[in-house]
Amino acid sequence: MLAAAALTVTALLPGSAAVAKNDASTQATIQVLASGLNVPRGLVFDGKNKRILVAESGIDAINVTGPCGIGEDGTPLCYADTGSVLQYSTRTGATSRIVTGLPSVSIPDGGIAVLGLHDLALFKGTLHGVFGLLGMVSTREEFAAQGAAHAFDLGTAGTFGTGAYPYQQYADVTAFEDQLEPGQESDPYGIIVGGFGSMIANPGGPVATGNDVLQFKNGQLTVATSIATRIINNRAIESVPTCVTKGPDGAFYAGELSGFPYFPGVARILRFMPGQPPTVYAEGFTNIIDCTFDDDGQLLVLEIAKFGLLNADQTGALIKVASDGTQTELASTGLTNPGGVAPAGDGVYYVTNFTAGFGGDGQLLKVTVG
C-alpha cells in the first residue's frame, strides 16, 4: 500500500467542469492493420520489439454441447479453449497468434460477446494478462467437473511464459471476491503492472461496498479502492470499472462502463490512491471500456458505444482529457464497439475494433490524429 501521505502529491486538475467535448475527429485517419480477430480487447504497444500484442477473448460458443455451467444471475455459460494472444509486427505487418488455447466462455445462444482474456500489460519484458468470467467459484467448478482443463484460470490475473500452455496465474480474483462475500460473481477486466505490483479493474465486489479495483503486491491481493453503487434516474447503477491506469501524478485512475441500462453521459473517471476512496476526476462519458495516459501525460478515454450500449448506433469514441479538464474527441467514425487503446506517440493510437462480436470479425486499427 502507498502511504496516506502520498495523497499530498500534486494532483492533475479535475476535468468534471469541462464535459463539453471539442471535436478533432475529422482530422483523424483510420487504417485497418489486421482483420479476422477473435473478439479483440486490450492491447499493448511494445515499441522495443516493434510489435503490438492483442488480447483475443475467443470464439462464441453457439451450439456448443459443453462444458457448461451457471454464471451471474443464473446466466448459462459454456466453456471453450479459443482465447489467444495475437502479435502484429509494426515493422513487417505480419500477424501471428503467439499464444493459443486460452480459456473463454460465452452464452450458448449467442446472446453476449465472448468473455476470456480481456487485457494485457507488459512490464520488464514479462507479459501479464487478466481473464474475465461473469461467474462465481461454482461456475468454474462446474466447468472443471466436465473436463475443462483451464477452468480455474478464468477470473484470474497472471503471466505468460513458455511451454505448451504458458499462462501462470498469480491472483485469483474470483476466489478473493468469494472470500469477501460468498457467492459473489467476478469479471476482472483491466490490468496494469509496475513497481506497485498489479492493479486490476474488477466489475464485481461486495454488494455493501460496490465494485472494486484490486491490487496484487508481495504475494497478496487486496482491495485498492471500492466504488459505490449510485442511484441514477431512480435506478441503482453499478460502476462496472473496466480500466485502471496510473497517472503522471502518481495516483491511479479507473474508468467506468456504468451498469445497465447504460445511461449516456453518466460514466466517470475516478482518481484514487490505494487504500483510499476514489474522487471524481472527469465525467460526462458514456460506457468507458479503456483508459490510459499518453507520453505527454494526457488522459485517453475510449468509449465502446458513445450513444450507449442499448442504442442502435454502436459507434465508439476516443477522447483526450487535457490536464485542464478539456475533453477532445480524437476519433469516432470507423470505431464500432472499440475495445482497447494503446498510444504510440506522434498522434498514433492503436485501437481494437468490434470487441462485442462473436469471433472472426474483429480488427486492429491504426488511428492517426493531426
Residue 37: predicted pLDDT: 98
pTM of the model: 0.92
Low-confidence ranges of the chain (pLDDT < 70): 1-26, 62-65, 110-112
Cβ atoms within 10 A of the Cβ of 264, count?
A: 18
In order of start, what are the domains of the chain with their CATH numbers?
15-369 (2.120.10.30)
Residue 5: predicted pLDDT: 25
- Distant-in-sequence, close-in-space partners of 329: CB < 8 Å, separation ≥ 6: 21, 22, 23, 24, 25, 317, 318, 319
Residue 109: predicted pLDDT: 72
Residue 12: predicted pLDDT: 39
Cα–Cα distance list, 171 to 48, 174, 200, 223, 290 (Å): 28, 9, 10, 12, 21
Residue 92: predicted pLDDT: 97
Taking the C-alpha atoms of residue 218 and residue 214, their distance in angstroms, rounded to an integer, is 13
pLDDT digits (tens, 9 = 90+) for 316-326: 999 999 989 99
pLDDT digits (tens, 9 = 90+) for 106-125: 988 766 679 999 999 999 99
Residue 205: predicted pLDDT: 85
Residue 112: predicted pLDDT: 66
Residue 60: predicted pLDDT: 87
Residue 111: predicted pLDDT: 65
